[in-house]
Amino acid sequence: MNEQFALDGFVVEPQLLDLHLLGSLHDAFDDLFAGHFGTGIEPDEVNWQTTTGDPRRARQICNGWKADDRIAAVVLDPGSAARVADLMGWRGARLIQDNILWKPPGATQLGFHRDNDYSHWFSPAEMATCWIALDSTTEASGTLEFARGSHLWPAPASLDTPFHAPDDYTGDVKRSCPANTEVDIVSVVVPAGGGSFHHGDTWHGSAANCTIVQRRALAIHYARADAKFDLDRLEHGMGKVYGRYCGGNAAMPDAHFPTLHGRVS
């Protein structure tokens, strides 16, 4: 594992994307949130659409790669998956889900959370994430924030902060911080096309966009290539959205969770 990643639980990168792609990705965001799905396939989660969405809320769609080939070209890139595998010490990485996030000027905050608290429907329940800024970011524009070293903290006893528009977006991370430790927040300030990689146990969230510029980002969540459905937990109602792709055995189908780098076993 990279030394900085092992200590902090994240690394920030000034450039992750070929800048020629930015324009087409912005167009893809316009299309997805307007309900135009180029491939004819709906994303797995659509939390905001032009006609119905609350204009003050951060916009979110999950698995836009299925709906739009311009998003797929970035999400299915084996290079980012290889980097994640290397940082995590995994033999391979498969896609779990993408997360398309758009905070227009004035849009609301996203609560601090750990991605691994959403991964209990597969095993090992470990994720890692590549986050790519599609606009230059500043603290004021509500860029992604990490609690440094928080991947080493004990798992939280309970979770109260909703993802969308919580009153205090830092509530859960403050409550989960061990005694005698300070929450050390680091903001990902990068040019468009830059971003970060983070461990699934690292606490992260973001403030409201208090500027007059857009704040769009593409997050790509990965698991180990040999991850399997946790049939027991699916039976107990966990992972309803993605568990529907379980064909009765534990293997995760490549059509929905493609292996992007390395070996499955």
Ligand X SMILES: O=C(O)CCC(=O)C(=O)O
Enumerate binding residues for ligand X (CB under 6 A): 99, 101, 110, 115, 144, 204, 206, 217, 219
Among the listed residues 80, 90, 82, 75, the one whose alpha carbon sits nearest the alpha carbon of residue 43: 75
Q: Rounded to the nearest whole angstrom, what is the least distance from the CB of residue 99 to ligand X in the complex? A: 4
**Smallest gap from residue 183 Cβ to ligand X (A):** 16
| Min dist. Cβ of residue 8 to ligand X (A) | 17
In the complex, minimum distance from the CB of residue 98 to ligand X, in angstroms, rounded to a whole number:
9
Whole-number minimum distance, CB 215 to ligand X, in Å?
8
Question: Exposed, middle or buried: residue 128 (CB in 10 Å: 0-12, 13-18, 19+)?
Answer: buried
Q: Which is nearer to ligand X, 22 or 231 (CB)?
A: 22
Residue showing tokens 């993605």: 242
Contact partners, residue 171, CB within 8 Å, separation at least 6: 111, 112, 160, 161
User: Measured from the CB atom, is 93 or 219 closer to ligand X?
Assistant: 219
Our CB check for ligand X shows the closer of 91 and 148 to be 148
Instruction: Choose between 142 and 258: whose C-beta lies nearer to ligand X.
Output: 142
Give CA angle at 246 (39, 248), nearest 5°: 140
- Complex with ligand X: residue 105 or 264, whichever CB lies closer: 105
Quote the strand ranges of the chain, DSSP E.
10-13, 45-46, 59-62, 92-103, 110-113, 122-123, 128-133, 144-147, 185-187, 195-199, 204-206, 215-224, 228-229, 259-262
